[in-house]
Amino acid sequence: MGNRRRHDMVRRIPKQRIYVCSFGCSLNMADGEVVSGCLDQAGHELVDQPRDAEILVYLTCAVKEPTENRVINLMGRTHPGKKLIVAGCLPLINPERVRREISYDAMVGPTPGERILEFLERVVEGETFEELNMAPLPRCDLPKLKRNRVVEIIPISYGCLNSCSYCAVKLARGELRSHPVEDIVSQVRKAVGEGSKEIWLTTQDTASYGRDLGCDLSHLIDAVSGVPETFWIRVGMMNPTRVIEIRRDLVRAYRSEKIYKFLHLPVQSGSDAVLSSMRRGYLAADFYRIVREFRKVFPWLTLSTDVIVGFPGETQEDFEETLKLVREVRPDIVNISKYASRPGTEASAMKRVDTKTVKERSRRLTEEVKRIALEKNQSWKGWEGMVLVDEVGPRGGYVGRNFAYRPVVVDTDQELLGKFIRLKVVEAETTYLKGEISPL
């Protein structure tokens, strides 16, 4: 915590009714769980609806312009007569827009941690302020209020080593700062001891983990997999430029039965020219190589990737290269984004592709992605095995995850959350599978 005074979680103001809402990535979700835990431990009341609150705390996201617009619109609608604390990435990425469009009481950066108590006290006492300094690496032992009792989200680091020309997140999260392996292992032990069955190792780029400590992601996976008890581990997004350097050790570490055979590897484009303009630090051939080496050992791997359509300067030939890559690699999941300029980035000064062209390219890619996703899911019909039930279904029943992190929906009235059950896949949709409970 540097020179900052550690807050002792003692409430120095009257009890407040507080609504906490997190947007965007799992790192922001983890930050929100800590904010809620600190407020709860200090004796404040956490409410489920903004209308029931006296204080609103938003952990915002601004990685994409549509998300930023949604967050701004929501904050503008929901807080008349209430105190508002704006946190998360937006205050450091686009503070001028917040100042211009939102009437706030406090604007602070991401990862407020235990300082949320200090910020709350100042707001309740009538102060209006901004604290936009980069947050230090937060403590690992802060209390949490989890969104899902089965899932433990563990940030393994903050910041990254990349300098992508389009990305504004580094403006908010800064350079890489990793938690020591032993601290993360302690968190896993504690979470599993308290009943968690699924561990998410999360950060901006998991493959960069440990570069500042003299270790790497494979060392962390080995250590976390060594924790006793039955639980499964989801390793978060990793960028190819770092994976290519550690891929052999990473494939070895993924052999652990506790690791979901799930790889989130954003390619962004199939064109080397566009990748260079993006400053991604790898070639399309590197992406192919990583996927090939993982699939050689894990043929049922679930591959998720991200693609930006219409990046400045993207020609029709560049787009066709991306379409070719998707057709050849056949990822299971593709998150498609139409390029949107972010303030303070190098790409924001580049010449844009016209909107009509971007929409048409997005439409073509989306059609291809949906076709491939359905075909890939249909190949799972008839599969039978163990799944971990990790969430309640949005329309009833439950959602379980198999060894490849495939979502399998099961319609049942049984209480299954947090249990390992045996299922048989009987139907396949574009984004999920349907299963029936099998006798053990």
Mean pLDDT of the region 148-152 = 96
Encode pLDDT of 404-431 as tens digits: 999 999 999 899 999 999 999 999 999 9
Say yes or no to pLDDT of 55 above 50: yes
pLDDT of residue 10: 60
Please compute the mean of the pLDDT values over residues 35-54 and round it to a whole number.
95
| Length reported for the chain | 440
The residues, ordered by sequence, that sit 6+ positions from 37 with a Cβ below 8 Å of its Cβ are: 142, 143, 144, 145
- Domains of the chain, CATH where assigned: 17-131 (3.40.50.12160), 151-378 (3.80.30.20), 384-437 (2.40.50.140)
Look at residue 348 in the predicted model and tell me its pLDDT.
94
* pLDDT confidence of residue 137: 81
Minimal CA–CA distance to 157: which of 107, 225, 207?
A: 207
| Distance from C-alpha of 439 to C-alpha of 137, rounded to nearest angstrom | 47
Instruction: Report residue 339 as tokens.
Output: 């390029």
pLDDT category at 318 given cuts 50, 70, 90 is: very high
Average pLDDT taken over every residue of the chain: 94
Q: What confidence tier does 8 reach under pLDDT thresholds 50, 70, 90?
A: low
Per-residue pLDDT tens digits for 321-380? 999 999 999 999 999 999 999 998 999 999 999 999 999 999 999 999 999 999 999 999
**Could you tell me if 154 and 186 are in contact, meaning their C-beta atoms sit under 8 angstroms apart?**
no
173 pLDDT band, cuts 50/70/90, is confident
What is the per-residue pLDDT across 181-194, written as a single tens digit (0 to 9) for each?
999 999 999 999 99
107 vs 109, more confident: 107
Give the DSSP per-residue string, 208-257: GTTTTTT--HHHHHHHHHTS-SS-EEEE----HHHHHHHHHHHHHHTTST
CA atoms within 13 A on the CB side of 10: 3
**Band of residue 1 on the pLDDT scale cut at 50, 70, 90:** very low
Given a cut of 50, whether residue 91 has pLDDT beyond it is yes
Chain segment 211-237, per-residue pLDDT in tens:
999 999 999 999 999 999 999 999 999
